[in-house]
């Protein structure tokens, strides 16, 4: 038993198992990963219905950058609930929405004036970006990346190319999306060194796509994750993103930066794109924006606004969500949480590199800030993905009190809240150390 994890009954315990049964009876099949049945949670620790405490390395799917139930967020939501819960901010007016839009606009990189479209989820913020791009450019086509994840509603799903299961039986998706390779330097098919390889992936767009199948003057926008999330926590070289941005500029293509998983301080900057010195035309943020109260924002250069009636959603920028979000921004800025994420991320990265020295199965350690990952391989030579081993490791870690998430083909990701301490990270790494030994032995 560690300082944080406390396993009283082997998980899933009897109450959790019963919840799984009831859930599968009444709740639509979704993307369940582990049988963690949460009762309550605070900071980085989730307590399940059987009284087990888990280290939460998932942050509720990269949402709880401030940890669970941050007292200032709870307070802000309670106070707002007493005054006014909902008043259709898309149709009427209230101050919290104006204030949040102003602050997000100011926080966006670059000094251009921005506006914000509020919605409720990542996928909706991407839909808004797609519509903004078509409406403003009069162009129909989009470019996205292989391995990318931008959501699951039909528009954003047309961009998503993370796993076939996400698209299976949903074709035809929205026509007009062309996918290109992301910067797969870390497992370059040609065995090139990252320092020289990135150019090949980026140049494909202008040198091959634009000269063979895709007239650039018909491309409205290019969507990019500055760190590929679901695709396996891939951090591209700085030059890759800069080259892509330069190509977009040359051809009048809007650059849409998907910060839904990587934003809000997680990578060591407020927005991950800031690591690359690139200024996007449109930014999508959601997940951590409301610390668990659903809210999303599409932040765009003011010259791109659409006419009244072109796009709207009833709950977008709901008052409870705005209150949670304003409190979240205060806490991130006052607590310098982005800097903290950078420091803790470096620490976790070093700990994972130490683990790699002990376990041949760890083929790669990568990440930015507190968005870290290890990739499990059959052997380091072939880099063949150790998928079953990865799944087993996540299952065993859960039984020992750590909630870890998969990503990509055989990657385990670490997305803990930004407010945890080093000893929290140590405890998770120690659990994983024991687990990987057991996976090899079995």
Interface positions with ligand PLP (CB under 6 A):
121-123, 126, 149-151, 225, 229-230, 258, 260-261, 286
Q: Which is nearer to ligand PLP, 205 or 224 (CB)?
A: 224
CB of 83 to ligand PLP, least distance (A): 27
Give the whole-angstrom CA distance, residue 289 versus residue 328: 7
CB of 72 to ligand PLP, least distance (A): 23
CB of 122 to ligand PLP, least distance (A): 2
CB of 156 to ligand PLP, least distance (A): 7
Give the whole-angstrom CA distance, residue 5 versus residue 9: 12
Which residue number is nearest to ligand PLP in terms of Cβ?
Answer: 122
CB of 27 to ligand PLP, least distance (A): 16
Q: Which is nearer to ligand PLP, 289 or 435 (CB)?
A: 289
Q: Which is nearer to ligand PLP, 52 or 325 (CB)?
A: 325
Q: Which is nearer to ligand PLP, 377 or 394 (CB)?
A: 394
Q: Which is nearer to ligand PLP, 153 or 356 (CB)?
A: 153
Q: Which is nearer to ligand PLP, 39 or 174 (CB)?
A: 174
CB of 436 to ligand PLP, least distance (A): 26
CB of 15 to ligand PLP, least distance (A): 28
Q: Which is nearer to ligand PLP, 122 or 369 (CB)?
A: 122
Contact 249, 170 (CB under 8 A): no
CB of 88 to ligand PLP, least distance (A): 21
Q: Which is nearer to ligand PLP, 259 or 375 (CB)?
A: 259
């Amino acid at each position: 038993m560690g300082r944080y994890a406390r396993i009283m009954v082997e998980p899933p315990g009897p109450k959790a198992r019963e919840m799984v049964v009831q859930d599968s009876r009444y709740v639509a099949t979704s993307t369940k990963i582990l049988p963690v049945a949460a009762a309550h949670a605070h900071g980085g620790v989730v307590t399940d219905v059987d009284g087990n405490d888990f280290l939460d390395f998932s942050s509720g799917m990269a949402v709880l950058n401030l940890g669970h139930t941050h007292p200032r967020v709870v307070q802000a939501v309670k106070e707002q609930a007493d005054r006014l819960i909902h008043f259709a901010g898309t149709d009427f007016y209230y101050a919290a929405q104006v204030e949040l839009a102003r602050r997000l606009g100011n926080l966006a990189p670059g000094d251009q004036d921005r506006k914000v479209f509020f919605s409720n989820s990542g996928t909706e913020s991407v839909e808004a970006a797609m519509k903004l791009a078509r409406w403003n450019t009069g162009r129909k086509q989009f470019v996205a990346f292989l391995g990318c994840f931008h959501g699951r509603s039909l528009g954003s799903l047309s961009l998503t190319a993370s796993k076939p299961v996400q698209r299976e039986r949903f074709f035809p998706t929205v026509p007009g999306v062309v996918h290109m390779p992301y910067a797969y330097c870390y497992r370059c098919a040609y065995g090139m060194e990252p320092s020289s390889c990135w150019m090949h992936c980026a140049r494909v767009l202008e040198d091959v796509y634009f000269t063979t199948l895709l007239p650039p003057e018909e491309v409205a926008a290019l969507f990019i994750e500055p760190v590929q999330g679901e695709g396996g926590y891939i951090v591209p070289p700085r030059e890759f993103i800069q080259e892509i941005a330069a190509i977009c500029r040359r051809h009048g293509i809007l650059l849409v930066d998907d910060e839904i998983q990587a934003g809000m301080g997680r990578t060591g900057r407020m927005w991950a794109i800031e690591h690359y010195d690139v200024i996007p035309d449109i930014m999508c943020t959601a997940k951590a924006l409301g610390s668990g109260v659903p809210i999303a924002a599409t932040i765009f250069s003011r010259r791109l606004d659409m006419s009244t009636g072109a796009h709207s959603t009833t709950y977008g920028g709901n008052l409870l969500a705005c209150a949670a979000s304003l409190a979240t921004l205060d806490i991130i800025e006052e607590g310098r949480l982005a800097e903290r994420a950078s420091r803790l991320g470096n620490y976790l990265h070093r700990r994972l590199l130490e683990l790699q020295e002990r376990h041949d199965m760890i083929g790669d350690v990568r990440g930015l800030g507190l968005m870290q990952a290890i990739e499990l391989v059959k052997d380091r030579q072939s880099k063949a993905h150790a998928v079953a081993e990865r799944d087993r490791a996540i299952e065993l870690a859960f039984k020992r009190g750590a909630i870890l998430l998969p990503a990509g083909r055989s990657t385990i990701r670490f997305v803990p809240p930004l407010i945890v301490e080093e000893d929290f990270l140590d405890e998770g790494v120690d659990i994983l150390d024991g687990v990987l030994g057991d996976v090899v032995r079995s």
